Amino acid sequence: MARGGRGYGGECGSAGGARFRDDYSDYRLFDDELGAQPMNQLFSLFYNNSLAFSDNVPPSSVDDEAGGATNKKETQNVTRTYMNTAAISPQLLKQKTQRIYHFSVNAVLPFCPGKIPSSISCLGHMLIFGKMAPTSLTARFKQTVTPASLRAYLAEFISTFFYVFAVVGSAMASRKLLPDAAADPSSLVIVAIANTFALSSAVYIAANASGGHVNPAVTFGMAVGGRINVPTALFYWISQMLASVMACIFLKVTTVGQLVPTYTIAEEMTGFGASLLEGVMTFGLVYTVYAAGDPRRTSLSAIGPLAVGLTAGANVLAAGPFSGGSMNPACAFGSAVVAGGLKNQAVYWVGPLIGAAVAGLLYDNIVFPAQAPDSVREEVSEGFSV
């Protein structure tokens, strides 16, 4: 690479480029028009783009000999210049990498690990391949034990613990305060309000670390929609289930052995009907999660967690007397385990998981596909801007 930097010289030199092609052929760039394209097949195209970029960058922006940008500000300037001058426009880059399957810092710069890129080509690949996923099962499992992944699991555990604590605890409190809580409408309102506030807060506090799923159904919907990989989803489930059981145990111990309430089906309801009801409610919840977390709808990002919580609260008011309004398999499982019975657990798993999967597939592939023209999305969402 001439003029702008050493290209693939030194640690990021031609040998590094060869290693990139050989060792990272199992990584793919997910393209909505072309499908999953092996990165080694796209290597030449993006390398040529980085060459075109080098003609527009003053040599002072890159330290040719030291192997790194001189400071963070200059690195940002280089990045900004690349986005303005690359042969592939920023709009096209955005479209090509719109759908996030997985993100790994180690995978972004496979040929320059652990350091600021020393060349324009490295910066170019950092920008272009920032949203990609390893396709081999071994590589995916390795990414489930990174420090960032462990922080995400801990965030899911903490947020799910406090969510279940608030929801189950509010039901226990209403049972203690009201003579006949099951027949008192105020009990339903108490639980609905607790759901709204607790879920909004739980999603908010975990959003930056884990995405704020707080629910195995949400995690399942995200996995089906391609937002996270399957191994990561499994560890999310483990964190959520453990948190739910621990929260219910904590409530039982601290309330001196009071009975932990479980989700039950109304006498006039069948198991199929209750499962269908739970599935429809969970569909609405997961669909709201997708919409609230959509990076294309930045105007809604501030109220995203509140929108999720309000959806859950409304669903509890609508279906609480019939199926309990769980929408969360972990919450139903934890309370059932501590209470000593797993009756009707299929209702709170089958329906919600199917509803979550439908929501994940519908939102990203039909209603708001990533490759939809920006102008169309803007026209459709004009009335919803906040």
Domains and CATH numbers, the chain: 10-135 (no CATH), 139-384 (1.20.1080.10)
**3-state secondary structure (DSSP) of residue 36:** strand
Q: Are 224 and 361 in contact (CB under 8 A)?
A: yes
| Sheet containing 35-38: order of strands | 35-38, 27-31, 133-134
- pLDDT of amino acid 296: 74
Q: Are 305 and 212 in contact (CB under 8 A)?
A: yes
For every one of its 386 residues, what pLDDT tens digit does the chain have, with 9 covering 90 and above?
A: 333 333 323 333 333 333 333 333 334 443 334 444 444 444 444 444 444 444 444 444 333 334 444 444 444 454 444 444 444 444 444 444 433 333 333 333 333 333 333 333 333 333 344 334 445 667 767 778 889 899 999 999 999 999 999 999 999 999 888 877 667 788 899 999 999 999 999 999 999 899 999 999 999 999 999 888 889 999 999 999 999 999 999 999 999 878 999 999 999 999 999 999 999 999 999 999 999 888 777 655 668 999 999 999 999 999 999 999 999 999 999 999 999 888 889 999 999 999 999 999 999 888 888 655 444 444 444 333 33
- pLDDT of amino acid 15: 34
DSSP class per residue in 295-321: TT-GGGGGGHHHHHHHHHHHHHHHHHH
The rounded distance, in Å, linking the Cα atoms of 126 and 24 is 14
- pLDDT of amino acid 298: 62
- pLDDT of amino acid 246: 98
Taking alpha carbons only, the member of 339, 340, 344 closest to residue 326 is 344
Q: Which residues pair with 340 in a beta bridge?
A: none
The rounded distance, in Å, linking the Cα atoms of 49 and 379 is 33
